[in-house]
Structure 1
Amino acid sequence: MASQSRRTPLERVEYVLIVSSLLLLVVFTLQPLINLLALSFTEPSKVAGFSGLSIIPDGFSLEVWSLLLQHPNVQRGLFNSIWMTATSVTIGVMGTALMAWGLSRPGLPGRRFIFIAVLVTIVFEPGIIPDYFLMKRLGLLNTPWAVIMYKVISAWYLIILVRFFEEIPKELLEAAELDGANPFQTFFLVVLPLAKSALATIALFYLVLHWNEFFRSMIYLNDQTKWPLQVVLRQFVIEGDKVAIVGSANASGNIGIAQINIRALKAGMIFITILPILAIYPLILKFFTKGTMSGALKG
């Protein structure tokens, strides 16, 4: 409060304008998401008149969510997406960290050549056709590994970690060696704990990349039972495959096709696909604000 009282009138006006602008951006960002959530909870009979600006459900109903969450395609897609994304992120973060640590060591033989080869993959990324033939030759077509192994190590994220590892003080590594730590112990017990913030950032990047992947899933996965949630979403939202979703509900006697509105189903389906990212992001966010070497050099 004391700092605010010392502001000049011009600074107060600037402060109010900045805060107002940021709040306005927050409203514009969150309003579409809240509108989708409200639409999915609206009474089916009132969905047709629901405004795109409303953020409060018109009535309250769980029929849309019950229908979607009980549908086998949605359940399988959600499981496939979680499994494929978790596997991709785990392999990607660990593989990127190991390769980045090796490239950050000045004594690595052929370090310059490897680094140039990594940069070439950024400029000349292979197209979908050679990528398809590679997966076919490896026997990975119609398997989740064809999607998991795509960009399992990103050159961009690799460079970020290389620069991060190069800034680790040599004194820490020398101290670990004096204590008798071998290279693997140094990497896992000294380097990785110091790189929590960087690894969390890389993990979030990989998470968003693989969770939103649907193009290669459509090409490589012919079996619909192996489709991730994003492909199921595309089939439903873009192609308007309402019968595929509601048809099984009619067979099980859950809800009639005339009782549900396509807008509400699309809103619920879209929100299901973005909910995991919204839930995980705050958990990773705390690592972004931590100092890279917080307390590392304290005696």
Structure 2
Amino acid sequence: MASRNDRRTPLERIEYAIIVSTMLLMVVVTVQPILNLAAISLSDPGRVPGMSGLAIWPEGFSLDVWTLLLNHPNVRQGVMNSLLITGVGTLINVTFTALMAWGLSRPGLPGRRFLFVMVLITIVFEPGIIPDYFINKRLGLLDTYWSVILYKAVNAWYLIILIRFFEEIPNELLEAGELDGANAFQIFWHVVLPLARPALATITLFYLVFHWNEFFRAMIYLTDQSKWPLQVVLRQFVIGGDKLSMVGVQAMSNFTGASQISIRALNAGMIILTILPILIIYPLILKFFTKGTMSGALKG
């Protein structure tokens, strides 16, 4: 039996080779800078200045950079703040978005068209930072985590994604739940949400990345440095450029290898630290995309 490659025409083989080569090039271009930063952060501090921007393997394995960073009080507090903002914010986002999307997807909802138009208006006429600042000030949210967490509690784009997904759920399944004596909340919890796992996984990932990468609003609204998320701490590290202010006088005197660690190595370690959670979470959520694709194929 001839293989699939044997059945391709010469032109199709050339096209396939170009596509594969392009994808591999994109992977290399994307992954190489991350590997370079990881290699710098794990290298012997004395050998970091001689490393090129193309190196992807540590030169003289050492954890001095990570030891210094993870013992820095600002970094530890930044990690905790980012976890709090991301966890609470994503929970609020997904909950409110799912509930609102389910309501707007029901044809019998009074004022459904008007509410949907109002959602579209927020996409076109999004308020600027100045009125948003005064609203937070009047509500007493300045210098609190809520000023960052509650922003875009329901993202209009993600709401539309869920609405379209909910509209595709067969009414027969909902009617079967009603015949079994389930109320509206039970149908939503036991029937709708399990079917919507791929869509929920999609918006959850989007919200996670949004909150974890938040720094602009936090930089404006959070004046207390103890409440800064990790991204704002990273910004201070990169812009400051002063190793003494980055690692602290106490750390410089207590940690024997601190004097040999360059700013380049510290910045590399901080950047890897900020992107590492997303790199870990993405494969865990990816399985829901795969399950959703296979489920759709089986139903078809």
Classify the TM-score, shorter chain: over 0.9
TM-score of the superposed pair, with normalisation by structure 2: 0.94
Structure 1 pair 248–87 and aligned structure 2 pair: CA distance change class (3 A): farther
Distance (Å, rounded) in 2 between the aligned partners of 1:6 and 1:297: 27
**Counterpart in the other structure of 2:113:** 112
How far does residue 250 in structure 1 lie from its aligned partner after superposition? 3.3
- The superposition leaves residues 88-121 of structure 1 with CA deviations (integer Å, 9 ceiling, x where unpaired) of 1111001000000000111111111111111111
SS in structure 1 opposite 2:49? coil
Contact conserved, 1:42 with 1:58, CA < 8 A, in 2? yes
Contact conserved, 2:197 with 2:292, CA < 8 A, in 1? no
How far does residue 60 in structure 1 lie from its aligned partner after superposition? 1.4
Structure 1 pair 60–173 and aligned structure 2 pair: CA distance change class (3 A): same
Contact conserved, 1:68 with 1:245, CA < 8 A, in 2? no
How far does residue 45 in structure 1 lie from its aligned partner after superposition? 1.2
Distance (Å, rounded) in 1 between the aligned partners of 2:29 and 2:154: 34
Structure 1 pair 241–192 and aligned structure 2 pair: CA distance change class (3 A): farther
* Pairing 1:181–2:185 present: no
Size of the alignment, in residue pairs?
298
- The superposition leaves residues 231-281 of structure 1 with CA deviations (integer Å, 9 ceiling, x where unpaired) of 000000123242222224536611355311000000000000000000000
Distance (Å, rounded) in 1 between the aligned partners of 2:145 and 2:44: 38
Contact conserved, 1:73 with 1:225, CA < 8 A, in 2? yes
AA aligned to 1:275 is L
Q: Which runs of 5+ in 2 are unaligned?
A: none
Contact conserved, 1:43 with 1:61, CA < 8 A, in 2? yes
AA aligned to 1:182 is N
Q: Which runs of 5+ in 1 are unaligned?
A: none
Distance (Å, rounded) in 1 between the aligned partners of 2:287 and 2:294: 15
Range 252-261 or range 132-141, more displaced: 252-261
Distance (Å, rounded) in 1 between the aligned partners of 2:11 and 2:106: 52
Root mean square deviation, CA, Å: 1.9
Structure 1 pair 123–255 and aligned structure 2 pair: CA distance change class (3 A): farther
Contact conserved, 1:121 with 1:155, CA < 8 A, in 2? yes
AA aligned to 1:191 is V
SS in structure 2 opposite 1:289? helix
**Counterpart in the other structure of 1:62:** 63
Task: Please list, as runs of the form range in 1=range in 2, the aligned pairs for 1:1-299 lying within 5 A after superposition.
Answer: 2-250=3-251, 253-255=254-256, 257-291=258-292, 294=295
How far does residue 282 in structure 1 lie from its aligned partner after superposition? 0.5
Structure 1 pair 57–251 and aligned structure 2 pair: CA distance change class (3 A): closer
AA aligned to 1:288 is F
Contact conserved, 2:68 with 2:251, CA < 8 A, in 1? no
- The superposition leaves residues 188-213 of structure 1 with CA deviations (integer Å, 9 ceiling, x where unpaired) of 11000000000000000101111111
Distance (Å, rounded) in 2 between the aligned partners of 1:60 and 1:215: 35
How far does residue 297 in structure 1 lie from its aligned partner after superposition? 9.9
Contact conserved, 1:142 with 1:223, CA < 8 A, in 2? yes
AA aligned to 1:161 is L
* % identical aligned pairs: 70
Contact conserved, 1:71 with 1:248, CA < 8 A, in 2? no
Range 11-20 or range 26-35, more displaced: 11-20
AA aligned to 1:277 is I
